[in-house]
Amino acid sequence: MAAITMSHIVKRYGDGYPAVNDVSLDVRDGEFMILVGPSGCGKSTLLRMIVGLEDITSGEMRIGDRRVNTVAPRQRNLSMVFQNYALYPHLTVFENIAFPLRLAKVPGDEVDRRVRDTADLLELTEHLDRKPANLSGGQRQRVAMGRAIVREADAFLFDEPLSNLDAKLRGQMRTEISRLQRRLGVTTVYVTHDQTEAMTLGDRVAVLRKGELQQVASPRELYEQPRNLFVAGFIGAPSMNFLPASVEGSELRTPLGSLPVDDRRRDAVGDRRVVLVGVRPESFEDASLVSPDKRARGAVLRARVDVTEWLGNELYAYVPYEAPEDVAARLRDLSRELDGDQLRTQAVVALDPSSRIHPGQDAELWVDTARLHVFDPSTGLNLTRDEEAVAALAEQADAARDAQRAAQRTDTQEVPPAEQS
Amino acid sequence: MESARSKWLWAVGSLLILVWTAVPILWIVMLSFKQPGEVGNRHGFLPHTWTWENYRTVFRTGLFTSALVNSIGISLIATAVGVVFATLVAYAIARLEFPGKRAILSFALAIAMFPVVSLVGPLFDLWRDIGLYDTWPGLIIPYVSFALPLAIWTLSAFFREIPWEMEQAAQVDGATSWQAFRKVIVPLAAPGVFTAAILTFFFCWNDFVFGISLTSTDNARPVPAALAFFTGASFFQQPTTAICAAAVVVTVPVVVIVLLFQRRIVAGLTAGAVKG
Q: What's the number of domains chain B is made of?
A: 1
| Separation of alpha carbons A208 and A227, rounded Å | 12
Burial status of residue A40 (CB atoms within 10 A of its CB: 0-12, 13-18, 19 or more) = middle
Host H or E run for residue A118: helix A108-121
Which class in CATH covers the domain with range A4-77+153-223? alpha beta
φ, ψ dihedrals at A13, nearest 5°: -85, 175
Q: Which residue of A has its CA nearest to B169?
A: A86
Distance of CA A311 to the CA centre of its chain: 24
Axis crossing angle, helix A167-184 with helix A137-149, rounded to the nearest 10:
20
B190: left (phi over 0), alpha (psi -120 to 50) or beta: alpha
Residue B176 has its nearest CB partner, among A74, A86, A99, at: A74
Residue B173 has its nearest CB partner, among A72, A84, A100, at: A100
Cα Rg, chain B, nearest whole Å: 23
CATH of residue B87's domain is: 1.10.3720.10
B168–A78: do the CB atoms touch at under 8 Å? no
Tens digit of each residue's pLDDT, chain A (421 residues): 689 999 999 999 888 888 999 999 999 998 999 999 988 889 999 999 999 999 999 999 999 889 999 999 999 999 999 988 889 888 999 999 999 999 999 999 999 999 999 999 888 999 999 998 888 888 999 999 999 999 889 999 999 988 888 888 888 889 889 888 888 889 999 999 888 889 989 899 999 999 999 999 999 999 999 999 999 989 888 889 998 898 888 888 888 888 888 888 888 888 888 899 999 999 999 988 888 888 888 889 888 998 999 898 889 999 988 888 888 888 888 888 877 666 678 889 999 988 888 888 888 999 998 889 999 988 889 988 888 888 888 888 888 888 877 776 666 554 444 444 4
Residues 73 through 92 of chain A touching chain B, CB cutoff 8 Å:
73-74, 78-80, 82, 84, 86, 88-90
| Domain span including residue B187 | 62-229
Classify residue B249: in a domain, yes or no: no
Q: Is the ipTM of this complex over 0.95?
A: no
Put simply, whether A140 touches B (Cβ < 8 Å) is no
Q: Which residue of A has its CA nearest to B163?
A: A86
Residue B188 has its nearest CB partner, among A53, A89, A147, at: A89
| Separation of alpha carbons A34 and A216, rounded Å | 9
- A326, A274 in Cβ contact below 8 A? no
Axis crossing angle, helix B62-95 with helix B53-60, rounded to the nearest 10:
80
- A203, A401 in Cβ contact below 8 A? yes
| Separation of alpha carbons A271 and A292, rounded Å | 33
Classify residue B270: in a domain, yes or no: no
pTM for this predicted structure: 0.78
From the list A278, A297, A283, the residue with the least C-alpha distance to A383 is A278
| Separation of alpha carbons A288 and A292, rounded Å | 10
Domain range summary for chain A, segments of one domain joined by +: 4-77+153-223, 229-385
Residue A88 has its nearest CB partner, among B166, B172, B176, at: B166
Classify residue B6: in a domain, yes or no: no
Classify residue B150: in a domain, yes or no: yes
B20: left (phi over 0), alpha (psi -120 to 50) or beta: alpha
| Separation of alpha carbons B103 and B111, rounded Å | 12
Q: How close does chain B come to A33, measured CA to CA in Å?
A: 20
Classify residue B36: in a domain, yes or no: no
- Contacting residues for A240 by C-beta, under 8 A, at least 6 apart: A226, A232, A233, A278, A279, A280, A281, A373
